[in-house]
Amino acid sequence: MKNKLIAEFFGTFWLTFGGCGSAVLAAKFITTEGATPLNLGIGLVGVALAFGLTVLTTAYAIGHISGCHLNPAVSLGLCVGGRFKAAELPGYIIAQVLGATAGAGVLYVIASGQAGFSLEGGFASNGFGDHSPGKYSMVSCFVAEVVLTFFFLLIILGATDSRAPKGFAPIAIGFGLTLIHLIGIPVTNLSVNPARSTGPAIFVGGWALQQLWLFWLAPLVGAALAGVVYPLMAGKADDRQ
């Protein structure tokens, strides 16, 4: 169990640092060299791909140790779906939140080294209303997070089913996370992961902490629904992992 929790800590650290780091450091990068400023940023597509790549790479690195959940919603969905022991759920969630917080902390140290850095930009926190990138309402953001988490868990449960092709699960899951980021970044900055939401929110404080409840509740609801639906759709539940 100790090895599993250490793996989840570092895996969630990498997801938060890599994904949120791409948003904070690289999404919009303006070079002032030469006469004309040039935008070399990776944009929303680059950020979406960065999140997907963190999961894809980490799944191959620690999947055989902890299952590479990196997300309280994933752990809950797997538990509801009969793939994960309920007794291990609290430890996983604690390790994931600590890893995300540490990842956000290291990102803050790096980002704050640039002149003019300010947390007023959001620091990749998730939000609704005035703090939604597209100014979407609370209801819109809640529905988006539930639906996108639901389908993310369906992808995970299907790709890791014993009947699925072997060795390809990280690819399907990584590209699945990329896809839902392409959909959801304009709405909420996309969470589908309470740990990832908690890390940056701790440093931003204020509105980010006040709105954090939605980015716990909605992903957990979506994941639990997928944990119920997938076994009904796929037939006999897979063996516990």
Q: What's the alpha-carbon Rg for the chain, to the nearest Å?
A: 18
Closest C-alpha among 148, 172, 143, 149 to residue 73: 149
What digits encode the pLDDT tens for the residues 127-165? Answer: 999 999 999 999 999 999 999 999 999 999 999 998 999
Measured CA to CA, the distance from residue 229 to residue 233 in angstroms comes to 6
pLDDT at 197 over 90: yes
Question: Phi and psi for 138 in degrees, rounded to 5?
Answer: -60, -45
What digits encode the pLDDT tens for the residues 168-177? Answer: 999 999 999 9
- The set of residues, in sequence order, having a beta carbon less than 8 Å from that of 168 and lying 6+ positions away, is 159
Domain residue ranges of the chain, discontinuous segments joined by +: 2-234
Classify residue 205 by its DSSP letter. -
Measured CA to CA, the distance from residue 70 to residue 11 in angstroms comes to 6
**Tokens (6 digits) for 7:** 């793996």
What digits encode the pLDDT tens for the residues 32-55? Answer: 776 678 778 899 999 999 999 999
The residue behind tokens 């997801």 is 15
What digits encode the pLDDT tens for the residues 53-81? Answer: 999 999 999 999 999 999 999 999 999 99
- The CATH architecture one would assign to domain 2-234 is Up-down Bundle (1.20)
What digits encode the pLDDT tens for the residues 89-102? Answer: 999 999 999 999 99
Q: Which long-range contacts (CB under 8 A, 24 or more apart) does 217-220 make?
A: 217/142, 218/141, 218/142, 218/145, 218/146, 218/149, 218/191, 219/71, 219/72, 219/73, 219/145, 219/146, 219/149, 219/191, 219/192, 219/193, 219/194, 220/72, 220/73, 220/76, 220/194
pLDDT at 206 over 70: yes
First to last CA, the chain: 13
- Asked if 209 and 201 count as a contact pair (C-beta separation under 8 A), the reply is yes
Measured CA to CA, the distance from residue 41 to residue 201 in angstroms comes to 24
Confidence tier at 239 by pLDDT (50, 70, 90):
very low
Q: Which residue has the higher pLDDT, 96 or 239?
A: 96
According to the model, what pLDDT value does residue 115 have? Answer: 87
